[in-house]
């Protein structure tokens, strides 16, 4: 057996290289033609049924508005029912013929089963499932006294998506529908303080790439990896080391620093256009895809840069991080941060 592996160790690299040289040009040509065809024949969602989790704010809220403009019927779920009703009213005004809301916590399997059942019982079908609900963290791994305090991140970001998808699959098969998966560029970027959050987003990518193989062409799956987009996370809403949701704008300034924050409306529009075309993956803004190339080609440089920018010496306040000093010294917040994320008015319930 070892002899076989020794042989493959020698043969596999050159064989793969020459195979790719022959295969990639026609493959890319075919993909280009398919992309043109998909753009011309984008799906019409007028009258179709879309369920969006985490729809009370941020990307989920604005995806509801984009679907509403296209005449889709909506089922919106989140933990904050009052905010959901406000989103639903706006969606109706924008053109959705029917909108229902339901309070649900996707970390609970019974809530996920209920929200799918209510959607199908009300509308009689399900065409798109948007798994958007998520929470973030911004604490160093060793500074978390009880690591189990961070379980809600994986339970919401990963398992919440798993539960809703499992209950929705039979209905999506019937409609030959689509799943939209909200991952993140943090699924490949080793940013400090985001450990469990990044792990949850990387797990989503792995799960849905595997599921794409299992379901074949019966269900379309679009994996979205947003960069910095205006949302409650970029407003400074995090799960603390004690397991409590809190708002810390100084910590937000450390984490985001002088990076431009994209508009949530533009992000939502890009996501729905990509979904209706049937794209497999979308990174928004698209320039963030270059960070994956950097991670692949020079990971040590990326890790060194993150340590330099975001970490401080032991015993030094987090607010002394170089990333925040650059933000404060340049005044980049006024240029790169939308007014909406500079307000500390963020609900934590």
Instruction: Check residue 348 and give its pLDDT.
Output: 55
Of 105 and 234, more confident: 105
* Residue pair 212/221 in contact by the 8 Å Cβ criterion: yes
Q: Which long-range contacts (CB under 8 A, 24 or more apart) does 89-93 make?
A: 90/64, 90/65, 91/64, 91/65, 91/67, 92/68
Catalytic residue among 62, 197, 228, 337: 197
Instruction: Check residue 301 and give its pLDDT.
Output: 95
Please, which residues bridge with residue 51 across strands? 75, 129
pLDDT at 270 over 80: yes
Average pLDDT across the chain, whole number: 91
Instruction: Check residue 290 and give its pLDDT.
Output: 95
User: Residue 268 contacts by C-beta under 8 Å, 6 or more apart in sequence?
Assistant: 59, 62, 63, 65, 66
Q: What are the tokens at 23?
A: 């295969």
Q: What are the tokens at 228?
A: 């910095």
pLDDT at 344 over 80: no
Confirm whether 197 is a catalytic residue: yes
pLDDT at 52 over 70: yes
Tens-digit pLDDT profile for residues 236-250: 888 888 888 888 888
List alpha helices for the chain, DSSP H.
Answer: 2-40, 58-69, 81-94, 109-123, 151-154, 160-175, 195-215, 249-256, 264-277, 289-297, 299-310, 322-330, 332-336
Tens-digit pLDDT profile for residues 110-166: 999 999 999 999 999 999 999 999 999 988 999 888 999 999 999 999 999 999 999
pLDDT band at 65 (very low <50, low <70, confident <90, very high): very high
Q: Rounded to whole angstroms, how far apart are CA atoms 206 and 198?
A: 13
Instruction: Check residue 347 and give its pLDDT.
Output: 58
CATH of domain 36-341: 3.40.50.720
Q: Rounded to whole angstroms, how far apart are CA atoms 349 and 338?
A: 23
Tens-digit pLDDT profile for residues 316-331: 888 888 988 888 888 8
């Amino acid at each position: 057996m070892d002899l076989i592996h020794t042989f493959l160790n020698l043969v596999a690299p050159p064989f793969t290289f020459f195979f790719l040289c022959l295969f990639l040009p026609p493959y890319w040509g075919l993909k280009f033609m398919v992309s043109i065809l998909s753009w011309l024949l984008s799906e019409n969602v007028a009258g179709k049924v879309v369920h969006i989790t985490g729809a009370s704010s941020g990307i989920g809220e604005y995806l509801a508005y984009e679907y509403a403009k296209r005449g889709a019927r909506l089922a919106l779920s989140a933990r904050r029912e009052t905010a959901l009703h406000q989103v639903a009213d706006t969606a109706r005004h924008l053109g959705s013929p029917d909108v229902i809301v339901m309070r649900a916590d996707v970390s609970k399997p019974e809530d996920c089963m209920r929200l799918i059942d209510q959607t199908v019982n009300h509308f009689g079908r399900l065409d798109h499932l948007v798994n958007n609900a998520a929470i973030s963290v911004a604490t160093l791994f060793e500074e978390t006294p009880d690591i189990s305090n961070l379980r809600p991140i994986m339970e919401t970001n990963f398992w919440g998506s798993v539960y809703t998808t499992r209950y929705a699959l039979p209905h999506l098969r019937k409609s030959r529908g689509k799943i939209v998966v909200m991952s993140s560029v943090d699924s490949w970027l080793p940013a400090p303080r985001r450990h469990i959050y990044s792990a949850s987003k990387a797990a989503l990518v792995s799960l849905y790439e595997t599921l794409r193989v299992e379901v074949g062409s019966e269900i379309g799956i679009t994996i979205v990896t947003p960069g910095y987009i205006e949302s409650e996370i970029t407003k400074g809403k995090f799960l603390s080391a004690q397991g409590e949701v809190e708002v810390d704008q100084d910590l937000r300034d450390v984490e985001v620093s002088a990076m431009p924050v994209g508009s949530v409306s533009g992000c939502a529009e890009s996501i729905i256009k990509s979904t209706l075309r049937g794209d497999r993956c979308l990174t928004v803004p698209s320039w963030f895809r270059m960070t994956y190339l950097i991670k692949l080609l020079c990971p040590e440089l990326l890790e060194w840069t993150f340590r330099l920018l975001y970490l401080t010496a032991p015993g030094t306040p987090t607010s002394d991080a170089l990333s925040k000093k650059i933000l404060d010294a340049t005044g980049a917040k006024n240029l790169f941060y939308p007014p909406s994320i500079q307000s500390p008015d963020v609900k934590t319930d």
